[in-house]
Every structure is written in C-alpha cells, then in structure tokens.
Amino acid sequence: MQGLLDQLAALEDRYRELSLQVIDPGVIADPAAYRSAIRDFKQLEPIVEQVRQYREMTDALAYARQDLDSADVELKAMATEEAEKLKEDMAVLERALQEALVPDDPSDGRDCVLEVRAGTGGDEAALWAGDLFRMYQRFADARGWKLEVVGSNPGTAGGFKEVVARISGEAVFGQLKYESGTHRVQRVPATESQGRIHTSAATVAILPEADALDFTLDNKDIRKDTFRASGAGGQHVNKTESAVRLTHLPTGTVVECQDGRSQHQNYEQALQVMRTRLWESADRERRAIEAEERKSQVGTGDRSGKIRTYNFPQGRVTDHRIGLSLHALDRVLTGDLDEIVLALRTVERMERLKQAGLAPDK
C-alpha cells in the first residue's frame, strides 16, 4: 500500500511540474518542447483525477471512523455503513490506480506518420493500397484528426503505389499502431475479365512521430534536391521546382515530398518524416524487444507479417493476431475500425497487466 502511495505522490509531483511547463512562455515558444509537455500532461491528467478522488475517499473514511465508537447507536450504524461503502469504493479505485500505473507504450500519445505501399498483385495491389488509405482517412476524419498527405505515387490504374501522410490529433499512434503489417485482400479485381478471385496485398507502416527533442538531425548529413512536382497542389507545381527530396547520407534514407504548396512547406514536411523514420528505426527495436518479452499476440513493429485479411466474397475481415473475424467488411472499409482497435488494445493491455502481476494468466 505504501508503495502505491509513493508512486502516486511522485506522479502528482510530475503532473504539477508539467502544469507549470505548459504555461511557461519559454516552453510555449519552443514547439517541440511544448508538444512534448502537453502530450505528457494530457496522459497524466485522468490518472491525477483518480488520485484526487482516492484522497477524498481516504479523508471521508477517516471522518467516518471517528464516529465508530460513538455512544449514539444510530450515528454509529450510519458511520459503519458509510465506512464499509467507502472501503469497497476505495478498493475498486485502488485497483484502477494500480492498473493505471502499469506503463503503456510511451509513444501512444504521439502523432504518427502513415505509409501505405502496394505489395504483390500489380495494378490490383495499387487499387487496394488506395482503398486502405481511404479507410484510414475516414477513420481519422471521424475522430477530428488532421491528415496531411506528404507524398504519393499513383498507380497506373488508380490507387497508389505508395502514399505517405502525417496524422495529428489525440493519442493518434496509440490507436493506429496495430495497423503496421501486411493487409491481404481477396476479391475480384476491377481489372479481371474472367470474374476470378485474386489475392493481393499492401503494406502499412505506422511510425510514431518524432520531434527535435527526440532526434536531432545534423544538416551536414542531409542532401537536399529539388525537382518539379507531378501531383496535386495547383498548376504551379509543374512550373517550379517545389518538390523536395532529402537523403540522409549516413543511412541512405530518402524522403520525397511534393504535395505541399511551396518548396519550404515540402522541405519542412520531408524533414519531419526523415526525423521520424530515423528515430522510429531505433524505437522499433525497443518495441520489438518489449513485445517479445511479453510474448505479445499483438506486436506493432513487424511490417512484413500478415496481420489481416479482407475477404470480399464473404464480407469478412479477419485479424490473424488475435483470431478476430467480423462480417462487417463494408463498415470497416468506411473507417469504422473501433471494434478491431478496441480488441487489439484490450489484448495488449491484458498482456501488460499480466507482466505486472495484476491480471490472471489465462
């Protein structure tokens, strides 16, 4: 019990420190520092509210106990009843606080970079990549998140060979991180004249967005090239070299951005994606090790593994990691991923609680 109280006190101290940071003009003037502070502040806020409730109950229980030895029979009975009710409520809240103190993925509160690429299947794979991207667009729209396309390479028959976007909002990575992997589709392609069912695939990568506090890029390690954009953004993109290609010389990592309205905007977007990719590469190793230690059924780092199948003839979506099948294909493709996300989050949370000895190992 004392250990829990010590943890809660430390958490409250951290919350008070962050509450001062988010109103500090010096922190506000530094976008990276402010984003980091406000992200941590919001993550702690609901837990601190539970801590306050727990302390109020503790005080109320102390007052109730003062009347347990009262000579007034009625007052003693009321105090006994109140004390028992408070102890029950406190036990429930104590359990909730113990679970809340089991650390989630520290990246859950971050924004993310979404990358969708056509895999095996030719034109049909590019069409499928386009369908997946629209699914995530609708999922983001439903939550009021902001999605910005950074770069795209259209398929010859539609869809995308590759599309990269930034998504910002409330705890974006924590809800989308389970989408990394290979998404397989079984359907009759629009390009199929014989009516045969084909199997194609597209890969999805969800990268927790890094900021300058996480990863500092040295300008001397980056080569910047400009070229004429070929995508959306107005006719001027074909007349000026507004598109930007950045190459990180030590690793050979290349990022292109051409969907912005200006070279400066494309450069800033590309720089952010470059920073995210380099930082995520190291962070992915941490998450893979953690998942292995937990013997995770979910996992969030392996982009090559087949995670989900979308079967059009049967109208079924199957997530292979947790054995979840839903006959709700149309609903899922219109962005209703809530049931899948909740199931995956629940499995991951149970794994963390088991590791902390707070959940039955069944």
CATH number for the 112-351 domain, one of 3.30.70.1660, 3.40.50.2300, 3.40.50.720, 1.10.1520.10?
3.30.70.1660
As a whole number, mean pLDDT of residues 318-347 equals: 94
Residue 158: helix, strand or coil by DSSP?
A: strand
Alpha-carbon gap, residue 267 to 228, rounded angstroms: 13
Domain boundaries, the chain: 2-100, 112-351
What would the pLDDT profile of 61-104 be if each residue is shown by its tens digit? 998 888 888 888 888 899 899 999 999 999 889 888 887 777 67
Q: Would you say residue 247 has pLDDT above 70?
A: yes
- Cα 204 to chain centroid, rounded: 13
**Per-residue confidence (pLDDT) for residue 141, from 0 to 100:** 96
CATH 1.20.58 fits 2-100, yes or no: yes
DSSP sequence for 170-236: TTHHHHHGGG-EEEEEEE--TT-SS---EEEEEEEEEEEPP-TTT-PPPGGGEEEEEE---SSS-GG
Rounded Cα distance, 170 and 165, in Å: 16
Which pLDDT score, from 0 to 100, does residue 236 have? 44
Distances (CA, A) of 197 to 122, 131, 189, 190, 200: 14, 17, 7, 11, 10
pLDDT beyond 70 at 129 = yes
Nearest partner of 270 among 253, 241, 246, 240, judged by Cα: 246
Residue 71 makes CB contacts below 8 A (sequence gap 6+) with none
In the chain, the percentage of residues whose pLDDT exceeds 70 is 87
pLDDT at residue 110 above 70?
yes
Write the pLDDT tens digit of every residue in 184-215: 999 998 767 677 888 999 999 999 888 766 77
The C-alpha atoms of residue 45 and residue 33 are separated, in whole angstroms, by: 18
Cα dist. 149→130, 146, 339 in Å? 13, 10, 26
Please measure the distance between the N-terminal and C-terminal CA atoms of the chain and give it in whole angstroms: 26
CB atoms within 10 A of CB 17: 12
At 322, phi and psi to the nearest 5? Answer: -120, 5
pLDDT in tens, 271-303: 888 888 888 877 766 666 655 554 555 554 445
Secondary element (H or E) of residue 168: strand 160-168
SS3 call for 283:
helix
